[in-house]
Structure 1
Amino acid sequence: MTQTIGIIGSGLVGKAIAHLAVAAGYRVVLSNSRGPESLAQLVEALGPLARAASVEQAIAAGDIVALAIPLATFETLPADTFAGKVVLDQTNYYPGMGDFRRADLDNGDLTSSELVQRHLRGAKVVKGIHNLGWHHMQYNARPKGDSQRTTLPIAGDDAAAKQAVAHFLEAVGYDVVDAGSLADSWRIEPNTPIYFWPYAPAIPEGLTEDEAKKAYLHPGKPISPEAARTLIDKTERPSPIGGTLEGLPPIHVVLFLELASADTVQR
């Protein structure tokens, strides 16, 4: 039976996961804070496997519900409607962006996904496909057996939920390694070895900004499951905790800020 991916958030991350899902034959139900009517153009571009709905409808429809939203908005999620749902948490903690900052995250008392799980108390939260940019979510995806297929990490507390998310990620174009529990998910958060940089191409020196932007729109070198495991195992907890723009590829920051200034980025 064809599964359905409910997506909360229709910014760059939400669009990327939607394109991956429909390309792999999944049904997609998209939602955002502005209502289904704002998604008409996107749904048309995605094709017959996609439809727009309210947030509550996307949650109800999804066999997996992807959170493609800023972490700062997690408390707006209607927690009671997530009971029993597998939740793919794509959020990241960037305390220097905006006014969202929490001592329990800064001190390492909780990981960001533990915070989401605490709010969505009846759900089964799995951290995943959060550690690469929206461009490379699509550009790096490859079918099984392809020599350029790369590997993504996941973390969660429910074995069946992790299996469901791993199956989805494998179907859309990635090998998967298990990074442990939600408490262990700091190993795959911003400013760790498996976050962002391994999935982006190296940009040669001496390029103009426009040339660098074009060069960035290519996949990074593939990471084998064994190499991904090594990156995870050697990780030391970053200090301070949380992502920064300085910790991202410079040309990604240029693209991000261009889009942010146009008010089109939802992270």
Structure 2
Amino acid sequence: MSDSAVPSPRIAVLGAGHVGPVIARVAVEAGYHVTISASGDPEKIALISRILVPGAEPRWAAEAVADADIVVLAIPLHKFATFDPALVAGKLVVDTMNYWPPTDGVQAMFEDRRYGSSEIVQHRLAQSTIVKTFNHTGYHEVEEERRPAGAPDRRALGVAGDDAGAVDLVAEVVERIGYDAVRLRGLSNGRLFEPGGPVFGASLRRDAFERAVSVEAA
């Protein structure tokens, strides 16, 4: 079977604030089937979707997740405490969230410094497979800094997770959107992408990114 005959994973984006629509838009432009959901009736985000994410389908969250191969969790982190784990049970979930107390306030769930924030997300979403990426770049940069494969100024994005197959699948999406994916085996290494980490907010090419994380990777 040729690569062109392999169906693309279907992507559901949960969150219609700043981050969600941008990720949905670049995924649509990369050729993926994308749905987007907020916390309630999809009619409430239908206009936003048509303007900001043409080509993405607004749906009820449960329906979008049920049909998706990849679920992008792009909600404000302070809302995670009320997020229903059952919604994404059995799903590959991409965690784009950051714990940043000056913005979110102190969140007791994320104060355990033994773990990175995505490890804590994994503990709560125990029936899901968590992969961390997109959290270490500004949402506006996700669209602006895309480059074709082989471009000398193509930026790298880190992709971390415990499940190698899930990391590879998400890395393929990152590559197709327009970035060089740097795979880090182990969700614990996702803390390198977090605020204060060596690559947070940095626009790095693959070699520089790999050097920055290799020193500290577990």
TM-score, normalised relative to structure 2: 0.89
- Once residues 34 and 183 of structure 2 are traced to their aligned partners in structure 1, the CA distance between those partners, rounded to angstroms, is 25
| Partner SS for 1:88 | strand
| Partner SS for 2:102 | coil
Pick one of 77, 80, 101 that aligns with 2:107.
101
Letter in 2 for 1:87: V
Kindly indicate whether the alpha-carbon contact (under 8 Å) linking 1:87 and 1:124 is maintained by their aligned counterparts in 2: yes
Kindly indicate whether the alpha-carbon contact (under 8 Å) linking 2:153 and 2:205 is maintained by their aligned counterparts in 1: no
2:203 pairs with 1:225? no
Letter in 1 for 2:164: A
- Once residues 81 and 111 of structure 2 are traced to their aligned partners in structure 1, the CA distance between those partners, rounded to angstroms, is 18
Give the corresponding residue for 2:170: 165
| Deviation of 1:12 (Å) | 1.1
Give the corresponding residue for 2:189: 184
| Deviation of 1:107 (Å) | 4.4
Give the corresponding residue for 2:127: 122
2:33 pairs with 1:42? no
- Once residues 3 and 183 of structure 1 are traced to their aligned partners in structure 2, the CA distance between those partners, rounded to angstroms, is 25
Number of equivalent positions: 211
Name which structure has the greater RCO, CA cutoff 8 Å, separation 6+: 1
2:111 pairs with 1:137? no
| Deviation of 1:235 (Å) | 4.4
Q: Deviations over 1:114-164 (max 9, x none)?
A: 111111111110000111111100001111122221100111111111011
Q: Deviations over 1:203-245 (max 9, x none)?
A: xxxxxxxxxxxxxxxxxxxx33221111112349xxxxxxxxx
Letter in 1 for 2:93: V
| Deviation of 1:58 (Å) | 2.0
- Once residues 20 and 178 of structure 2 are traced to their aligned partners in structure 1, the CA distance between those partners, rounded to angstroms, is 17
Kindly indicate whether the alpha-carbon contact (under 8 Å) linking 2:77 and 2:104 is maintained by their aligned counterparts in 1: no
Map residues 49-60 of structure 1 onto 2, 5 A cutoff: 49-60=55-66
Letter in 1 for 2:31: G
Share of identical aligned residues, percent? Answer: 34
Structure 2 stretches lacking a partner, 5+ long: 1-6
Greater Rg over alpha carbons, structure: 1
- Once residues 114 and 175 of structure 2 are traced to their aligned partners in structure 1, the CA distance between those partners, rounded to angstroms, is 32
Kindly indicate whether the alpha-carbon contact (under 8 Å) linking 1:179 and 1:188 is maintained by their aligned counterparts in 2: no
Kindly indicate whether the alpha-carbon contact (under 8 Å) linking 1:29 and 1:61 is maintained by their aligned counterparts in 2: no
- Once residues 38 and 216 of structure 2 are traced to their aligned partners in structure 1, the CA distance between those partners, rounded to angstroms, is 35
Q: Decide whether aligned partners of structure 1 residues 106 and 234 sit closer, same or farther in structure 2, where only a CA change above 3 A counts.
A: farther
| Partner SS for 1:179 | strand
2:176 pairs with 1:195? no
- Once residues 189 and 58 of structure 1 are traced to their aligned partners in structure 2, the CA distance between those partners, rounded to angstroms, is 28
Greater Cα shift, 168-177 or 138-147: 138-147
Give the corresponding residue for 1:6: 12
Structure 1 stretches lacking a partner, 5+ long: 200-222, 237-267
- Displaced runs of 4+ in structure 1, greater than 6 A? none
